[in-house]
C-alpha cells in the first residue's frame, strides 16, 4: 500500500508539470533542424565573424582556410547557455532576420558569405568595433522562445508558399 501511494504521488507531481503540447507537437516535426553558431574574433585583423551552419563538420575547411588567425569565443565569453538552436536551420534565421541577422551595423561595415544552399553555412563578418552588438544579437537568437521559433517557421512557410 505504501508503494502504491508513492507511485500515485509521483504521478500527481509529474502531472502538475504542464507543457504546451500543441506548440511542442508542431515544433517536433522540425526536430531535425538545428543551427550551430560559432563566433570568431581577430584582434590582429580587427574583425568579428559569426558562422552559422546546420552541421558543425562543415566548419573545418572554412576555419582552416580563411580564419586561421581568429580566436573562437567560448560559450561563457559570449554569456550564452548553449551555442546551438533547435527547430530552426540557418536558412530560416537568415530569411526572417535578414542578411545582417538582426545586428544593427552599418551596411558598408558588413561582409557576408552566404553558402547556405550549396555548402550549408553562412558567415557574417564585421569590424571588432561592433563586438558588443554582435554578442547581444547572438544571445537574443540563441534565447528565442518556442513561440518565436514557431513564428519564424510560419513566416518561412508563408514566404516559400508565395
Q: What is the pLDDT of residues 13-54, one digit of tens each?
A: 555 445 545 666 666 667 778 999 999 999 999 999 999 999
Domain membership of residue 134 as a residue range? 29-161
Q: Is residue 23 part of a domain?
A: no
Q: Is residue 100 part of a domain?
A: yes
Distance between start and end Cα atoms, the chain: 62
Residue 5 confidence class, pLDDT cut points 50, 70, 90? low
Q: Which residues contact 129 (CB under 8 A, 6 or more apart)?
A: 46, 109
Q: Is residue 89 part of a domain?
A: yes
pLDDT at 139: 95
SS3 90: helix
What total of structural domains would you count in the chain?
A: 1
pLDDT digits (tens, 9 = 90+) for 71-107: 999 999 999 999 999 989 999 999 999 999 999 999 9
- For residue 134, count CB atoms less than 10 angstroms from its CB and return exposed for 0-12, middle for 13-18, buried for 19 or more: buried
> pLDDT higher for 109 or 60?
109
pLDDT at 157: 82
pLDDT at 9: 58
Q: CA 5, 9, 15 angle in degrees (round to 5)?
A: 145
Q: Is residue 141 part of a domain?
A: yes
Q: Give me 91's grid cell.
A: 536558412
Give CA–CA dist 79/21, Å, rounded.
30
**Summary mean pLDDT of the chain:** 84
Nearest to 135 by CA among 57, 83, 60: 83
pLDDT digits (tens, 9 = 90+) for 116-150: 888 889 999 999 999 999 999 999 999 999 889 88
Q: Is residue 7 part of a domain?
A: no
Q: Is residue 3 part of a domain?
A: no
> pLDDT higher for 146 or 9?
146
Amino acid at each position: 500500500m505504501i508503494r502504491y501511494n508513492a507511485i500515485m504521488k509521483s504521478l500527481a507531481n509529474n502531472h502538475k508539470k504542464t507543457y504546451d503540447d500543441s506548440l511542442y507537437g508542431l515544433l517536433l516535426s522540425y526536430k531535425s533542424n538545428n543551427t550551430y553558431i560559432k563566433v570568431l574574433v581577430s584582434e590582429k585583423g580587427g574583425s568579428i565573424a559569426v558562422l552559422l551552419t546546420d552541421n558543425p563538420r562543415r566548419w573545418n575547411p572554412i576555419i582552416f582556410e580563411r580564419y586561421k588567425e581568429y580566436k573562437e569565443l567560448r560559450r561563457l565569453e559570449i554569456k550564452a547557455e548553449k551555442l546551438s538552436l533547435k527547430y530552426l536551420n540557418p536558412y530560416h534565421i537568415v530569411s526572417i532576420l535578414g542578411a545582417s541577422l538582426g545586428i544593427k551595423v552599418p551596411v558598408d561595415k558588413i561582409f557576408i558569405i552566404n553558402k547556405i544552399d550549396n555548402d550549408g553555412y553562412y558567415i557574417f563578418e564585421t569590424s571588432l568595433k561592433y563586438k558588443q552588438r554582435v554578442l547581444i544579437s547572438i544571445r537574443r537568437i540563441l534565447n528565442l522562445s518556442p513561440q518565436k521559433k514557431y513564428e519564424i517557421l510560419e513566416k518561412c512557410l508563408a514566404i516559400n508558399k508565395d
